[in-house]
Amino acid sequence: MKNKCFPCQLVSWSEAAVLSRDLARKIKSDGDRPDLIVAIGRGGFVPARVVCDYLLFRDLTSMKIEHWGIAATKGDSARIRFPLSLDVAGRRVLIIDDVTDTGETLQVASGYVREMGALHVQTAVLQHKLSSQFTPDYFADLISEWRWIIYPWAAHEDLVGFSERVLSDEFVSVEGIRSSMKSCYCLDVAPQLLSDALAELVNIGRAEMRDDMYRKDMKHIGKA
């Protein structure tokens, strides 16, 4: 498997909580209270719920947009998988996601909600990347130098993907894989989290284990 290295950041639950609180404060201080908050699934589920908590806001719903897969694998374009199930005509809507990368997800979401007749549409994210072609109305943190962000609600999934990327045809120890993750992706992964990810790869037939060492699953490679 060809492996392209790039920097990543693993956000902790406590860091995500602070970002969500800061985002809520910015929204609240603006005084422009929405009628409805829409979480973008899946990344926006947790941030949207925490923001609702700080705003003492009850009307939260969601829609699913697919664009990014596991470990920074990108689809052709953002597309709505599960649309909104309620009428937003005449409502003031706030759309919340975790991060803007290309910005395409929020472009699709805000355009869709406007087409449904929303009176006013705003967007918010925990972290906004300057590389994004879309600038949200609210964000808690500005990222000037691009990196892939791994949030705690997607940590296992992404670590499974990144672990597979660094596996080779030869058996390597967990510590060796951990070293490769650090050098290639700037990820200092806790040994237990990495062990869980590697065990998952074995379970789904993407890796082989022998004497607590791991390599790509050669049967899978042969069938590919």
pLDDT at 79: 84
Joined tokens for residue 23: 């985002």
Q: At what angle do helices 155-166 and 174-185 cross, to 10 degrees?
A: 100
The SS3 assignment for 37 reads strand
pLDDT of residue 2: 46
- Is 50 exceeded by the pLDDT of residue 224? no
User: Percentage of residues in the chain with pLDDT exceeding 90?
Assistant: 86
Q: Place 220 in a pLDDT band, splitting at 50, 70 and 90.
A: low
What is the per-residue pLDDT across 21-34, written as a single tens digit (0 to 9) for each? 999 999 999 998 99
Provide the token pair at 1.
């498997």
Per DSSP, the residues of 85-153 read -S--TT-EEEEEEEEESSSHHHHHHHHHHHHTT-SEEEEEEEEEETT-SS--SEEEEEE-S--EEE-GG
pLDDT cut 70: percent of the chain above it: 92
* Mean pLDDT on 185-208: 95
The pLDDT tens digits of the residues spanning 81-137 come to 899 999 999 999 999 999 999 999 999 999 999 999 999 999 999 999 999 999 999
| Mean confidence (pLDDT) of the chain | 92
The residue among 141, 142, 95 whose CA lies nearest residue 116 is: 95
In this prediction, residue 149 has a pLDDT band, given cuts at 50, 70 and 90, of very high
* Cβ atoms 165, 214 nearer than 8 A: no
Q: Residues 94, 109: contact at Cβ < 8 Å?
A: no
pLDDT, tens digit, 9 for 90 and up, residues 41-78: 999 999 999 999 999 999 999 999 986 545 455 556 78
